[in-house]
């Protein structure tokens, strides 16, 4: 089947990474999948790295019909059967151009938990063949907006497992880069540096842990690795200094498979309504024990005490206790690592995502 997947994003985070994984995985299964993305964006260049066909398509807003014309030309050129729009600003021009004017099948992907606007919900009901939610949590929000459940399919995000196999040499090099010593216990997290991601909660938990952990493991020094960029960086650095916590903040990284290898425990302490948690499955694939907040779609990934630990959002005491449990119990930590890897292989690999997506487009 010929599929055009549009993503007008110039950023590169979990959603964009998921788009790359989907294009790669579908092309491996024999479909002809074209990516429409802004020329020069990370997403565009990533697709070119693995020789996926790419078109320069970037919607500035829902009324950008010049780009819609370029998209129509790409649909004809590649004989597209199904158009997939991944961002809200692409929804209207995608439906009007591909569905109404050209008679192609149209699928929307929904990564956000916020409600659809009334006129967009009408568009979905009338002219969209399927809307794909990245979690059951997102599906519930769509139904509350008035989208019939039979029009919604859940396709969880997936990751390419080959990228996240931990290697001793890679770990040694990464820890040297970040100035970590063999005796350091490195607590890692990744995402936007802002209050909503729960990073100030993580700092408080680390402060609570610092002395109690030293009493039980006197040879261990607790350090944080906080990957990402955002408006809260300066405030986080100030708070870490005030609490006397070593927090390394290397900014946004495109080599996350290497960065994960420097960590010992991964924390996803978000207090937002997270729709999924791409970094959680990446950390599991990297062989890390995971602790995550029980928010949004995260419990669809993490089963408490089985493949990770869930902590109440915004509670540094509970978060500190979860970290200490993993740090002090090697057998329990290994159980989480093994089950986490199994979870990703079976449910959240790129191949599993591609199979679910194939089933959706085949049903059209």
Query: Could you tell me the domains of the chain?
Result: 2-158+349-362 (3.40.50.2000), 161-347 (3.40.50.2000)
The sign of the CA dihedral 149, 151, 156, 157 is negative
Q: Return d(Cα 323, Cα 334) in angstroms, integer.
A: 14
Q: What's the average model confidence in pLDDT over 1-8?
A: 96
- Going by the DSSP 8-state scheme, the letter that residue 308 receives in this structure is B
- 8 token code pair: 């007008």
Res 214 pLDDT > 80: no
What is the model's pLDDT at position 4? 97
- Mean pLDDT of the chain, nearest integer: 93
What is the model's pLDDT at position 63? 87
Q: What's the average model confidence in pLDDT over 183-194?
A: 95
Whether residue 60 contacts residue 67, with contact meaning beta carbons closer than 8 Å, is answered with yes
pLDDT tens profile 149-188: 999 999 999 988 887 877 777 899 999 999 999 889 999 9
For the CA atoms of the chain, what is the radius of gyration? 21
- 150 token code pair: 């039979």
Check residues 169 and 298 and name the one with the higher pLDDT: 298
- Going by the DSSP 8-state scheme, the letter that residue 4 receives in this structure is E
Whether residue 188 contacts residue 225, with contact meaning beta carbons closer than 8 Å, is answered with yes
**pTM of the full structure:** 0.90
Question: pLDDT grade, residue 133 (50/70/90)?
Answer: very high
What is the model's pLDDT at position 200? 97
Res 218 pLDDT > 90: no
């Amino acid at each position: 089947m010929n599929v055009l997947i549009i993503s007008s994003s110039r950023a590169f985070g979990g959603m964009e990474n998921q788009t790359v994984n989907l294009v790669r995985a579908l092309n491996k299964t024999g479909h002809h999948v074209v990516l429409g993305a802004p020329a020069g964006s990370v997403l565009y260049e990533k697709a070119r790295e693995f020789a996926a066909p790419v078109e320069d398509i970037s919607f500035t807003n829902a009324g950008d019909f010049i780009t819609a014309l370029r998209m129509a030309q790409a649909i004809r050129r590649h004989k597209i059967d199904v158009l997939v729009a991944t961002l809200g600003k692409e929804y209207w021009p995608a439906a009007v151009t591909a569905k109404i004017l050209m008679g192609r099948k149209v699928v929307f992907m929904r990564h956000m938990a916020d409600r659809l606007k009334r006129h967009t919900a009408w568009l979905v009901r009338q002219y969209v063949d399927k809307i794909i939610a990245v979690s059951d949590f997102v599906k519930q929000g769509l139904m509350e907006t008035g989208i019939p459940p039979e029009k919604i399919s859940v396709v969880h995000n997936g990751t390419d497992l080959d990228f996240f196999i931990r290697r001793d040499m890679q770990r040694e090099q990464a820890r040297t880069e970040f100035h970590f010593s063999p005796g350091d216990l490195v607590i890692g997290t990744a995402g936007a540096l802002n209050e909503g991601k729960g990073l100030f909660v993580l700092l408080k938990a680390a402060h609570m842990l610092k002395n109690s952990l030293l009493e039980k493991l006197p040879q261990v020094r607790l350090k944080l690795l906080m990957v990402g960029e955002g408006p809260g960086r300066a405030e986080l650095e100030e708070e870490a200094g005030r609490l006397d916590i070593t927090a390394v903040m290397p900014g946004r990284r495109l080599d996350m498979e290497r960065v994960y290898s420097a960590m010992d425990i991964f924390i996803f302490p978000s207090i937002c309504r997270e729709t999924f948690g791409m970094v959680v499955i990446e950390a599991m694939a990297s062989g890390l024990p995971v602790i995550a907040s029980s928010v949004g779609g995260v419990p669809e990934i993490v089963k408490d005490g089985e493949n990770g630990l869930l902590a109440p959002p915004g509670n540094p005491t509970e978060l500190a206790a979860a970290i200490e449990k993993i740090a002090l119990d090697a057998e329990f930590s290994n159980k989480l690592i093994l089950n986490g890897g199994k979870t990703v292989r079976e449910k959240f690999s790129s191949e599993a995502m591609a199979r679910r997506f194939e089933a959706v487009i085949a049903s059209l």
